[in-house]
Amino acid sequence: MSEKPVHLDSEWLEIHDPELDTAALMAEIETRIAQRRAEKGLPISRFPTFGPVPCPDRPVDIVYDPNLYHYLRQVNRLYHLFETDPHIVAAPTTRIPVISRLWALIRHHAHTLVLFYVNRAVRHQTNVNRSLVSVLNLLTSAYADQQRQINALQAELDSLRQQSQE
């Protein structure tokens, strides 16, 4: 159990005392929690963050596929945009004086009913899309980190080959 404790966001703890350091207090709490969990043989807990994971920026230190970041940025912008406004076009029956008002009222309520269920489905799909986009953002960040590690290992391998040839 040599894992370091995960540092929590200390915004939930606010102390207005100049003699107390909130960051130091949070670090002490985290250390004690980790020690207590280690004494009891419990693994260190890691909790997911809530809300969407932001889209990673294009890396400046590695070669990357521009299409990946272009489409990732597109999907981050578009995953939650659905148009579900009612569009009721005029029909020939709405021109008949006697039943036009009644028919317009029936059409309006029918569209409202359909949109109620469509909006429920869209809300669910937006939550799924948010999770999928967050996974894509995390995987893209992990990909960039792995590429940095590969580049570092390749540079180390090249230097070792060069040293062995000398």
Q: Indicate whether 53 belongs to any domain.
A: no
- pTM of whole model > 0.85? no
Tell me how far apart the alpha carbons of residues 100 and 159 are, in angstroms, rounded to a whole number. 84
Same domain, 23 and 81: no
* Residue range of the domain that includes 6: 1-47
Residues in the chain: 166
Same domain, 101 and 146: yes
Q: How many structural domains compose the chain?
A: 2
Q: Indicate whether 38 belongs to any domain.
A: yes
Tell me how far apart the alpha carbons of residues 118 and 107 are, in angstroms, rounded to a whole number. 16
Would you give per-residue pLDDT tens digits along the chain (166 residues)?
A: 344 444 444 456 677 777 777 778 888 888 898 888 888 888 877 777 777 889 999 999 999 999 999 999 999 999 999 888 888 887 777 777 778 888 888 889 999 999 999 999 999 999 999 999 999 999 999 999 999 999 999 999 999 999 999 8
Q: Indicate whether 55 belongs to any domain.
A: no
Closest CA to 4 of 31, 41, 32, 42: 31
